A and B are shown apart, each in its own frame.
Chain A
Amino acid sequence: QVQLVQSGAEVKEPGASVKVACKTSGYTFTRYDISWVRQATGHGLEWMGWMNPNSGDTGYTEKFQGRVSMTRNTSIGTAYMELTSLTSEDTAVYYCSRTSSPGFFEFWGQGTLVTVSS
């Protein structure tokens, strides 16, 4: 069965960077885009960007341009999301999700809590 398993919770200081991993299994990793979605406590879902695991092409929402990087390691079926220059506003649960056509999020990781605090 399709599974996306994310790395564990992180605590970071303001100004630092965080890199979250999303290990996939149960399907061909390069056949489906991966998106990252975040959710601050008590708030809704916010889409951050997507990556094509086959080509490595990416697209980021304007809000995160210049601060986010989405990469992958195809040999181990794992996607990564790195966010730099963290502030307290980045404290949230970050989800990876497999994107299916026509543009919906069919499978989700369990989420990774990133806490930014001094």
Chain B
Amino acid sequence: EVVLTQSPGTLSLSPGERATLSCRASQSLKSTCLAWYQQRPGQAPRLLIYGGTSRATGIPDRFSGSGSGTDFTLTISRLEPEDFAVYYCQCQQYGVSPLYTFGQGTKLEIK
């Protein structure tokens, strides 16, 4: 089973600052398996990044994904008030169970 560990658990920043969220895998992954989601309170998750680096439709370019092997990063270049939410990384791995794995989430809160 692939385990995705996100850090930090909570990140306190101010609007306008840069946010760097980490997702570490228990084994090396194909970078294209990695996706990132944003979840605001009371809402369903929203896809931000897929294939490791591709932004989903309508996602602002202040969001970017990077990484390879076991270390992946979601960067938000300049935080807007609506960016304060919980973020999850996720990967699909064929031939292993479970087929899809999520990280435990990073809460991005206003400082």
**Interface on A for B, CB 8 Å cutoff?**
35, 37, 44-47, 50, 59, 61-62, 95, 100, 102-111
8 interchain pairs, CB-CB under 8 A: A45-B39, A45-B102, A45-B105, A61-B99, A103-B99, A103-B100, A104-B90, A107-B47
Cβ contact within 8 Å between A50 and B99: yes
**Residue of B with least CB distance to A103:** B92
User: Could you tell me which residues of chain B, from 63 to 104, have a CB within 8 Å of some CB in chain A?
Assistant: 88, 90-92, 97-104
Quick check: B47 and A105 within 8 Å, CB to CB?
yes
B92 and A102 within 8 A (CB): yes
With a CB–CB cut-off of 8 A, which chain A residues contact B47?
104-107
Is B102 a contact of A46 with CB atoms below 8 Å?
A: yes
Number of B residues with CB within 8 Å of any CB on chain A: 25
Q: Distance (Å) between the CB of B54 and the closest chain A CB?
A: 10
Counting from the closest, the 5 A-B pairs by CB-CB distance are A103-B92, A104-B35, A108-B44, A61-B98, A47-B100
> Chain B contacts of A44 at CB under 8 A?
88, 102-105
Q: Which residues of A contact B90 (CB under 8 A)?
A: 45, 104-105
Nearest CB of chain A from residue B85's CB, rounded to whole Å: 13
Interface contacts beyond A44-B105, A61-B99: sample of 13 additional A-B pairs, CB < 8 Å, sorted by A: A44-B102, A44-B103, A46-B102, A47-B101, A59-B99, A102-B51, A103-B35, A103-B99, A104-B47, A104-B50, A105-B45, A106-B50, A108-B46
| Partner among B44, B88, B91, B97 whose Cβ is within 8 Å of the Cβ of A95 | B44
Contact partner of B50 (CB less than 8 A), chosen from A95, A100, A108, is: A100
Are A45 and B45 CB-contacts (below 8 A) given A104-B50, A105-B35? yes
A61 contacts across to B, CB distance below 8 A: 97-99
CA distance A45 to B105 in the complex (A): 8
- Distance, CA A57 to CA B39, complexed state (A): 29
A111 and B33 in contact, given A44-B88, A59-B99 (Cβ under 8 angstroms): no
